């Protein structure tokens, strides 16, 4: 879960995948097909010559720089900025509130995510069926969602762990007076799997 648009993530992965596929196919063709090597050599020589001519014709006055290189550097800077923004957004879907009610005549109710996370963590820490657990809060479609990751003790069924976690969640619901959407992730041993997505809206 993060704050980056899922469609944008998939588009970036698709573009990089297609680029890698094209480069791989080209490398294989150059290594196996003699005609491809000759065409590549001819095309590369032509492209280098064209680039050199264009660079010479578009030189900036009183400098040895070409407009082509300035444009290339500007484009590279834009790409770097976009990549930095993309990296910074990863893992930043975390949300600081479990509840943010609309203001009314009596005021506004705010419940910090740290309270809910600590309450669930303490409840699950006393469960013999669970070796360890981690609780975090994310915003999914403008709705706070609790993600509970629990590691089942060896020999314990994931279904049993889910029941334990759901009891703790129901107790939290009664305490807060609201029904919090929850994603439960169960892992055990060397295998990791999502056992149940509970009340995820």
Domain ranges in the chain are 6-89, 97-196
Domain 97-196 sits in CATH 3.30.300.30: yes
As a dihedral over the C-alpha atoms of residue 67, residue 70, residue 76, residue 82, rounded to 10 degrees, the angle is: -100
Say if CB 60 and CB 67 are below 8 A apart. Answer: yes
Q: Which residues pair with 191 in a beta bridge?
A: 188
| Burial class, 69, CB count within 10 angstroms (exposed 0-12 / middle 13-18 / buried 19+) | middle
- What local confidence, expressed as pLDDT, does residue 60 receive? 63
Residue 101 pLDDT greater than 50, yes or no: yes
The string of pLDDT tens digits covering residues 132-177 is 888 888 877 777 888 888 888 888 888 888 899 999 999 988 888 8
Token digits for 55? 């660079």
List for the chain the helix, strand, coil content (%; round to 5).
55, 25, 25
- What local confidence, expressed as pLDDT, does residue 77 receive? 92
The reported pTM is: 0.49
């Amino acid at each position: 879960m993060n704050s980056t648009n899922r469609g944008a993530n998939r588009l970036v992965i698709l573009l990089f995948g297609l680029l890698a596929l094209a480069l791989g196919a080209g490398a294989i063709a150059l290594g196996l097909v003699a005609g491809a090597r000759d065409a590549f050599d001819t095309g590369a020589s032509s492209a280098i010559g064209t680039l050199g001519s264009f660079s010479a014709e578009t030189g900036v006055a009183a400098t040895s720089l070409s407009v082509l290189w300035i444009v290339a550097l500007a484009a590279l800077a834009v790409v770097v900025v976009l990549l930095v923004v993309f990296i910074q957004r990863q893992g930043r879907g975390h949300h600081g509130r479990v509840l943010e009610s609309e203001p009314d005549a009596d005021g506004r109710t705010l419940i910090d995510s740290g309270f809910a996370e600590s309450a669930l963590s303490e409840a699950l820490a006393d469960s013999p069926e669970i070796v360890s657990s981690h609780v975090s809060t994310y915003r999914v479609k403008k709705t706070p969602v609790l993600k509970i990751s629990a590691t089942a003790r060896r020999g314990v069924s994931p279904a049993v762990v889910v029941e334990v976690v759901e009891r703790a969640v129901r107790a939290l619901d009664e305490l807060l007076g609201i029904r919090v959407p929850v994603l439960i992730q169960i892992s055990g041993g060397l295998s990791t799997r999502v056992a149940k997505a509970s009340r995820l809206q």
